[in-house]
Chains A and B, each alone.
Chain A
């Protein structure tokens, strides 16, 4: 069972002059937080718009909850936070949630209960009765998130959800997303904030010029195989000798030593040797790069092709 699947999904604009998305294949399974990364104009928003029927594919097919995207009935199980979303500015936050909830097919008594909860969740409780033309950018974004959650959706599309939100708010958004995942919801995220993405996502895909250039598990991407960070307290002079003995390459990084071993067995023998020589190990941790490093490297590697 997949929540989202696309087959050769392609979208051209301007009679084929702009290739916004090219032969895109993807599967998102339930309960996953999936993030789509890519530079500006890579086609991230285009993909969401195609999936929601806001624009139509040039070629290819896609399904949401097993239904063809042409069928809008599955939209009652979706939530969407659009990039640059625009609400009627003459309405109050509560009214907006009410009308949009109605359009999602929800009834009045459910909405009257749900709306205060959501305003509380996105920290707009005191602003419910205020016309949104008085809202700041971050507040509008919070309202957008509340709107996306109005029907307690099974699948949530968020296009740059933390855009304009302050650092504390971003952490709150992150907690909201993780809590939703806990409840089995699937989340599809577009974001440029790679540190956020790294913290919440299970899988990522990287798009460039409409083409998929990398896809997979985040933890696998950012942990570097057989490389560990080592910190010892004393006996630094003896180290080169031991490293030589095991033929382990090492490089210094801050107050740590980055070592690359051939396998875990060698790592353990190495540790035994350190202990035998009475060196005090303070820490030994698997080495990770940041998602940002990985992202930039992937984009650079894709440059020549």
Chain B
């Protein structure tokens, strides 16, 4: 069974690559790594202090290296969490609708594969290519920075896991929408909407000050706890990078529950669908 699903994952991987967006992603990541490798020069002057040169422009002050590494790693994480997720969702939005096309899905079902496996292979394929891209940048920039400075922060690697996990949660929603509507553009729109709308729910106290009636409060609260909490997940990612303690994991596990719920519903609908 595993090698059959692996073949599905591989096809999905190839299909995403054919979309070129991930090639661009990969190119940008490579550029960033090259920048760290060649353009960033750290002269360690006095143990903890150094002078920094970017593109040969040397800054006059001495800087705390560890702070600098935290800053650079945070910047990379933020870039991945915002731009990376944005690009990844965009590039994978067509995968489920294209799976469901007549002529494609028929052939897959005619293989000794359950429908659950077909959907799972597709889903994991999408997560795999995003994971590959995210970890390509995370691992290489981490290695370069750590080798240059001697500071090895595992937090940055954890941030990589958080970013892929956030993608996996949002992609579960996109999978369900893709199955229901067969439209990549529509699923993408709604997923972006959730991505940008859920941070607003953090400010729900101010929203219900504007609305009368208790019911609104309950409604907004349920929305908040039900939907993936992208802003807080971003925050946890940042805390992880900087090696600071994370006070509440609630946003993470409620979001994971949301993802699992979306996937289960998707599987249920997909395995009963007439093609």
Chain A residues with a Cβ under 8 A of chain B: 13, 49, 52-56, 72-76, 78, 80, 82, 84-88, 90-91, 95, 99-100, 102-105, 107, 147, 157
Contacts and interface: CB of A to CB of B under 8 A. Distances in A.
Nearest to B105: A54
Given A55-B275, A78-B110, 20 more contacts: A49-B275, A52-B110, A54-B105, A54-B106, A54-B274, A72-B113, A80-B107, A82-B103, A84-B102, A85-B103, A86-B103, A87-B104, A90-B14, A90-B18, A95-B14, A99-B11, A102-B4, A102-B6, A105-B4, A105-B111
Contact of A75 (B102, B111, B275): B111
User: Which 9 pairs from chain A and chain B are nearest by CB?
Assistant: A86-B103, A102-B7, A90-B18, A55-B274, A80-B110, A75-B112, A76-B112, A103-B111, A82-B106
Contact of A54 (B110, B113, B272): B110
Contacts of A85: 103, 106-107
Contacts of B10: 99
Nearest to B3: A102
Interface of B: 3-4, 6-8, 10-11, 14-15, 17-18, 101-114, 272, 274-275
A250 to B, nearest CB: 53
Q: Is the interface of B mostly helix, strand, loop or mixed?
A: helix
A72 B3 contact: no
A99 B102 CA distance: 19
Contacts of B110: 52, 54, 75, 78, 80, 82, 157
Given A86-B104, A88-B14, A90-B18, A103 B113 contact: yes
Contacts of B105: 54
B4 A100 contact: no
Contacts of A100: 7, 107, 111
Given A88-B14, A88-B15, A73 B112 contact: yes
